[in-house]
Structure 1
């Protein structure tokens, strides 16, 4: 039986990480369109954040040649971007084993989801067996940083919230215990922030990411549909 893994790759040289750093209050999902020659196009779905900040970051990014808006729905926007560099050129100064990176492309695995975060990528993937997963994880452990968040067998059920980070779990728990989600609300965002020892803006971002993750796990199996 195959494996389903969720993990973080800590490598700031990965595509679009610069954009995630510039717009840390937004959620960026990346899909690679491999039917466009040697360099796959980037399909970037952005939820939240400032549209101006995102588009300025796309224009300034060293790894984006050009981009265009292809749809919007609510606070979700979708962009198509043409990469300015090949993966080898982009990662060559950061990875010692480029040949190993090419080998990963033929591994018995499917990367289902890529979320771009300020220090790398957060991914969910399906792996044919333990050997396929070990090949993938070992490469990134040798060449960058790798943190496993979740590993289950294909077909195993899991409770909602397994995709949350420890900090997101903590923020939700504290906010709930203080009454932030009560109606009427019994605690302010500032009170939750004081309990956690971080800023109110950081709490807001952490709660929003946690709520988005829970919605994706329980309500929405895909991103919001966008108009043609």
Structure 2
């Protein structure tokens, strides 16, 4: 049975440490990683700094290469890049034990990872690897798959699914609306702007993975502007 683990690792033990240190006001959220011939291609959002500031800081970062900006908004930007061999823990999780990093959020202090393992043996192999290579990590939570269907099969992240369900239950999608966007945002403890973008990305994911069939479709959830405190 699948196991979902939440881990904290120091920024220095994962990717983009040099970049995050150079611009400590920045937050990075990785929500999709495509694997092609053992080349790991992350899609990630940056927030808190301008794209030019991020690109300047990332230019000499040895953990990432081939950086390309795909989209830009007022307070965030979407990028695609490639991990290098310097990101050992990520390479091992994907290429050796085939675990899947579902979400990764980084600041200059730490990365928060959400990883799916096929079983406890796979989880143990990942923990053993980190211990052998002195990769510091803190296990925050372990959960098992409790129901056969989740929003993930439609390309939704947990945050996107939570936002859609909360808005639906509050009557936001009714005509006339039974709840305002601010009401739903307050319930989730996020800003109205964050919720609006989250719902937009969720709808894109649903359409892209149901009405429009595309194996390469990915619609990451934009990071909250209040993510980093």
**TM-score of the aligned structures, taking structure 2 as reference length:** 0.55
Unaligned ranges ≥5, structure 1: 96-100, 161-209
SS at match of 1:29: strand
Q: 2-side partners of 1:103 and 1:51: how far apart?
A: 29
Q: Which residue of 2 aligns with 1:151?
A: 142
Quick check: 1:28–1:116 contact (8 Å CA) kept in 2?
yes
Q: 2-side partners of 1:81 and 1:104: how far apart?
A: 16
How many residues were matched structurally? 158
Q: Which residue of 2 aligns with 1:169?
A: none
Q: 1:70 to 1:21 in 2, by over 3 A?
A: same
Q: Which residue of 2 aligns with 1:75?
A: 75
Q: 1:105 to 1:60 in 2, by over 3 A?
A: closer
Quick check: 1:59–1:66 contact (8 Å CA) kept in 2?
no
Q: Which residue of 2 aligns with 1:60?
A: 60
Q: Which residue of 2 aligns with 1:47?
A: 47
Residue 20 (1) aligns with residue 20 (2): yes
Quick check: 2:93–2:126 contact (8 Å CA) kept in 1?
no
* Structure with larger Rg: 1
Flag as ranges the 4+ runs of structure 1 deviating above 6 A: none
SS at match of 2:100: strand
Quick check: 2:63–2:87 contact (8 Å CA) kept in 1?
no
* CA displacement at 1:154 relative to structure 2: 1.7
Cα RMSD, aligned residues only: 3.5
Of 136, 150, 166 in structure 1, the residue corresponding to residue 126 of structure 2 is 136
Match runs of 1:167-182 below 5 Å: none
Q: 1:44-86 deviations in whole A, cap 9, x for unaligned?
A: 3112334332121122323444422110233120122345xx4
Q: Which residue of 1 aligns with 2:33?
A: 32
* CA displacement at 1:25 relative to structure 2: 2.0
Q: 1:110 to 1:80 in 2, by over 3 A?
A: closer
Q: 2-side partners of 1:21 and 1:69: how far apart?
A: 21
Quick check: 1:5–1:125 contact (8 Å CA) kept in 2?
yes
Unaligned ranges ≥5, structure 2: 148-157, 159-188, 203-219, 224-229
**TM-score of the aligned structures, taking structure 1 as reference length:** 0.55
* CA displacement at 1:120 relative to structure 2: 5.3
